């Protein structure tokens, strides 16, 4: 079921046309033109430096995330892919995903990405409702978003799009209708995120001031249940807490994270997990784009954190990521990482509560009833 040799490369493009008021990703707005040639040189240098430490891998997935990577010129994307291929072998069935924002989708640009080697796009549609898009601070309408989906469908064999639900005032009936409209436009994959109020965002301040009211816990739960029912009924079951796919069409890059495989993080604010000299190393680069550029130009890479994880940390991370998946985790892999098995008493209690179950092949997984309280389940098992 899992591919132990999976190796992913994540490339971060840190710029957006405007900052959405709910978003705390490492994304920045610049009014001057971005010097993409300079970024290509820096990405190439950081790829070379990472491959010098973690060579001999075969890349199975590459993901351009952001920010808004669809603001990159296709030639920039192609040059970064060439740099990856200069330093590592590339699997013949490599998955290459690029995140796109509907505001910056044009058919010619998408054809350019495809010619450069991208074979999957993930579009940030967010809502199919103009009032909701306005409230989310998006620069596109529902019509423009659906037109972008049509361009994606015509340009790529594999595409996905994101929606945000549990928005202010949203009822399960509204959401079911919107989700059905979305599914009619979807291909093999959808990402459906509950709106999270992130600290230090404009939404956080509005929420704290009582000016932005999100659905209460019971309504949030009902919205989550609606999501599962509508998607499963349409052949798009959840394979991860927020991700739905037709069986076999899962995003292989995200599976690399959730299955705790190895990945390189390239670009401003990118995280990596690399197995070097028998240790799992957690890496992170400088977040600020211009500071990252200067670091790479000065020392060949932008890494500011590079730590070996302890067995305890590796095991916790394995649970935290793996229990997000419908397939769950192999308890023996946990035991091998932690140096001790999961506490059988805690597992038994959670099983009695209906929050976890053991599959026929001995994997431990969170049930549909347990997913809304996933953080508590993980905390309990890791304690
Ligand atoms: C890094 S964004 C990149 C997508 C692209 N920049 C766009 O916005 O179209 C990835 C996704 O995270 C989701 N997201 C970001 N902030 C969120 C929040 N506070 N709550 C829920 N989902 C969020 C959105 O669905 C978004 O499409
Ligand atoms: S949601 Fe997407 S477009 Fe909006 S600020 Fe975040 S990364 Fe940029």
Average of per-residue pLDDT across 85-106: 94
Atom index in ligand 2 nearest the CA of residue 23 equals: 6
As a whole number of angstroms, the distance between CA 367 and CA 370 comes to: 5
Residue 82, pLDDT above cutoff 60 = yes
Least-confidence region, from 73-77, 102-106, 326-330 = 102-106
Among 162, 198, 203, residue to substitute to test ligand 1 (most atoms within 8 Å of Cβ): 162
Q: How confident is the model at residue 4 (pLDDT cuts 50, 70, 90)?
A: low
93 contacts 119 by C-beta, under 8 angstroms: no
Q: What pLDDT was estimated at residue 38?
A: 98
| Confidence category of residue 3, pLDDT binned at 50, 70, 90 | low
Q: Is the dihedral angle over the CA atoms 163, 164, 166, 169 positive or is it negative?
A: negative
- Between CA 327 and CA 249 the distance in angstroms is 15
What letter would DSSP give residue 310? P
Ligand 1 lining (C-beta closer than 6 Å) = 22-23, 25, 66, 68, 99, 101, 124, 126, 162, 164, 193, 195-196, 198
pLDDT band at 104 (very low <50, low <70, confident <90, very high): confident
297-326: average pLDDT? 97
**pLDDT above 70 coverage of the chain, percent:** 99
With the C-alpha atoms ordered 135, 136, 139, 140, is the resulting torsion angle positive or negative?
negative
Ligand 1: centre distance to CA 124 (Å): 7
- Measured from the CB, is residue 148 less than 6 Å from ligand 2? no
Residues 257-279 pLDDT 10s? 999 999 999 999 999 999 999 99
Whole-Å CA distances, 106 to 11, 16, 258, 284, 285: 22, 16, 32, 33, 31
pLDDT at 1 over 70: no
Whether the link from the prior residue into 345 is cis, omega within 30° of 0, is no
Mean pLDDT of 202-218: 96
Closest listed ligand to the CA of 162: 1
**Residue entry with tokens 């033109």:** 33
Question: Is the predicted pLDDT of residue 2 greater than 60, yes or no?
Answer: no
**For range 162-177, the mean pLDDT:** 97
Residue nearest to atom 7 of ligand 2 (CA): 67
Strand partners, 276: 279
Mean pLDDT of 54-69: 97
Residue 327 has pLDDT above 50, yes or no: yes
- Please answer whether residues 100 and 66 qualify as being in contact, where contact means their C-beta atoms are separated by less than 8 angstroms: no
The confidence band for 25, taking pLDDT boundaries of 50, 70 and 90, is very high
Ligand 1 centre and the CA of 202: distance in Å? Answer: 15
Would you say residue 216 has pLDDT above 70?
yes
Distances (CA, A) of 351 to 78, 239, 261, 345: 49, 20, 27, 10
What's the token pair of residue 325?
């998946």
Distances 224 to 113, 214, 287, 324 between C-alpha atoms, Å: 34, 14, 33, 15
The mean pLDDT value of the chain amounts to 96
Distance 291 CA to ligand 2 centre (A): 21
- Give 107's pLDDT tier (boundaries 50, 70, 90): confident
Answer for the pair 250, 191: CB distance below 8 angstroms, yes or no: no
0.75 cut: is pTM over it? yes
Q: For 212, how many CA atoms within 13 A lie in the half-sphere containing its CB? A: 19
Joined together, the tokens standing for residue 50 give 């990472």
């Amino acid at each position: 079921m899992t591919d132990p040799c999976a190796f992913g490369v994540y490339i971060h493009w840190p710029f957006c046309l405007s900052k959405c008021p709910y978003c705390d990703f490492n994304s920045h707005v610049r009014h001057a033109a971005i010097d993409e040639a300079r970024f290509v040189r820096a990405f190439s240098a950081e790829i070379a430096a990472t491959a010098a430490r973690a060579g001999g891998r075969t890349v199975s997935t590459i993901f351009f995330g952001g920010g808004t990577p669809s603001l990159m010129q296709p030639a920039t994307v192609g040059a970064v892919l060439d740099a990856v291929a200069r330093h590592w072998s590339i699997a013949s069935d490599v998955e290459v995903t690029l995140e796109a924002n509907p505001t910056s989708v044009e058919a010619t640009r998408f054809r350019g990405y495809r010619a450069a080697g991208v074979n999957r796009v993930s579009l940030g549609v967010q809502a199919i409702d103009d009032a909701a898009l306005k409230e989310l601070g998006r620069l596109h309408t529902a019509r423009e978003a659906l037109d972008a989906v049509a361009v994606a469908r015509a340009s790529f064999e594999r595409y996905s799009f994101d929606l945000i639900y549990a928005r202010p005032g949203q009822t399960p009936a509204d959401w079911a209708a919107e989700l059905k409209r979305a599914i009619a436009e979807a291909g093999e994959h959808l990402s459906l995120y509950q709106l999270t109020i992130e600290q230090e965002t404009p939404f956080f301040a509005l929420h704290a001031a009582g000016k932005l009211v999100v659905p209460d816990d019971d309504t949030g739960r009902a919205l989550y249940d609606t999501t599962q029912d509508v998607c499963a009924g349409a052949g798009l079951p959840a394979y991860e807490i927020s991700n739905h796919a037709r069986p076999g069409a899962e995003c292989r890059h995200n599976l690399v994270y959730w299955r705790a495989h190895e990945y390189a993080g390239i670009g401003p604010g990118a995280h990596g997990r690399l197995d070097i000299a028998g240790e799992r190393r957690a890496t992170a680069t400088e977040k600020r784009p211009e500071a990252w550029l200067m670091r790479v130009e000065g020392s060949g890479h932008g890494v500011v954190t590079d730590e070996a994880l302890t067995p305890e940390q590796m095991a916790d991370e394995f649970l935290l990521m793996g229990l997000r998946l419908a397939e769950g985790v192999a308890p023996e892999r946990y035991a091998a990482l932690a140096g001790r098995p999961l506490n059988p008493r805690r597992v038994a209690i959670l099983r009695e509560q209906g929050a976890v179950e053991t599959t026929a092949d001995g994997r431990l997984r969170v049930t549909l009833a347990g997913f809304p309280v996933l953080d508590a389940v993980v905390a309990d098992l890791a304690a």
